[in-house]
């Protein structure tokens, strides 16, 4: 029985014909050449991304050998998906023909804003906590003000401070889950495809259950699969590309209502905006300055 990886490779090779002229605006699909152009522009706009290659046996001949896929590594994931998606207005959501939920194109720019608002609230909480701790410290200093402390006691205390082991909590280091995110070109669906590889705070790979906590519940059951990466020797979570062209076409049409036209080089900037709706807690760089 053929593995998923072999089946998909076979389908890509004998499936749909290679795009020879741009059909981006009509279909939401792109050619391998447009994928490379869009990848170069993504790296220019967001330098945390880079091109990567793989062993020759896993390379696709429709892409340059040194540009087989895009990757960004060690991306922080501070919260779980339900903490963000539960606060979204239902007007932000639309359902595609298959019943899957996506963020409405006109509201995609609101998601980073909501995320920033959440982060601002967290920051305010931390600042308030620090202020309260400072007040308590000041209060303690006032209580001991009347005590006489000898020079020997001060010197002894300083020596203890120098030899003390500082814990992560004391230096306020925030540990979080991290993700490596890769983008490949799927020749069968003629769109990019996103792959996620997650790690715990201690560096161990996340389980399927743990990764499900970082993916929007609306997408986890219907559009996310756990399969081998086509270029790497790892099992990853992948956002299935069967609906990508449809969603991209909808966003392209939305831009058209405002007399805006999507250039091929900006395809991935727009694509990652809607992918962000599926993985809102993973803080990857997707050029937020790009407007719909």
Residues marked active site are found at: 242
Give helix then strand counts, H and E, for the chain.
10, 8
Per-residue burial over 219-231, b if 16 or more Cβ lie within 10 Å, else e, is: bbeebbeeebbbb
Tokens representing 265?
A: 């080089």
Tokens representing 255?
A: 């831009």
Instruction: Please give the span between the terminal C-alpha atoms of the chain, in angstroms, as a whole number.
Output: 45
3-state secondary structure of 285: coil
Which residues on neighbouring strands pair with residue 71, listed in sequence order?
Answer: 50, 182
Backbone angles phi, psi at 49, to 5 degrees: -85, 150
Residue identified by tokens 């979570």 is 237
């Amino acid at each position: 029985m053929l593995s998923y990886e072999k089946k998909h490779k076979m389908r890509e090779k004998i499936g749909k014909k290679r795009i020879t002229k741009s059909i981006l605006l009509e279909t939401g699909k792109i050619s391998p050449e447009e994928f490379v152009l869009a990848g170069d522009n993504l790296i220019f706009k967001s330098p945390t991304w880079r091109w990567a290659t793989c062993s020759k046996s896993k390379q696709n001949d429709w892409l340059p050998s040194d540009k087989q896929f895009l990757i960004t590594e060690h991306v922080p994931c501070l919260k779980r998906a339900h903490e963000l998606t539960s606060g979204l207005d239902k007007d932000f959501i639309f359902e595609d023909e298959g019943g899957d939920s996506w963020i409405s194109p006109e509201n995609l720019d609101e998601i980073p804003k909501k995320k920033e608002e959440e982060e601002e609230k967290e920051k305010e909480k931390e600042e308030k906590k620090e202020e309260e701790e400072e007040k308590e410290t000041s209060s303690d200093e006032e209580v001991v003000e009347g005590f006489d402390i000898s020079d020997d006691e001060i010197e002894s205390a300083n020596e203890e401070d120098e030899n003390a082991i500082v814990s992560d909590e004391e230096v306020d280091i925030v540990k979080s889950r991290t993700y490596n995110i890769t983008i490949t070109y799927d020749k069968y669906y003629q769109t990019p495809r996103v792959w996620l590889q997650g790690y715990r705070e201690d560096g161990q790979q996340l389980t399927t259950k743990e990764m499900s906590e970082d993916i929007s519940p609306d997408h986890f059951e219907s559009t996310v699969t756990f399969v081998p990466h086509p270029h790497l020797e790892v099992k990853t979570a992948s956002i299935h590309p069967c609906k990508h062209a449809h969603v991209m076409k909808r966003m392209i049409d939305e831009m058209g209502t405002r007399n805006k036209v999507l250039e091929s080089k900006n395809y991935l900037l727009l694509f990652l905006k809607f992918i962000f709706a599926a993985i809102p807690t993973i803080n990857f760089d997707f050029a937020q300055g790009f407007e719909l």
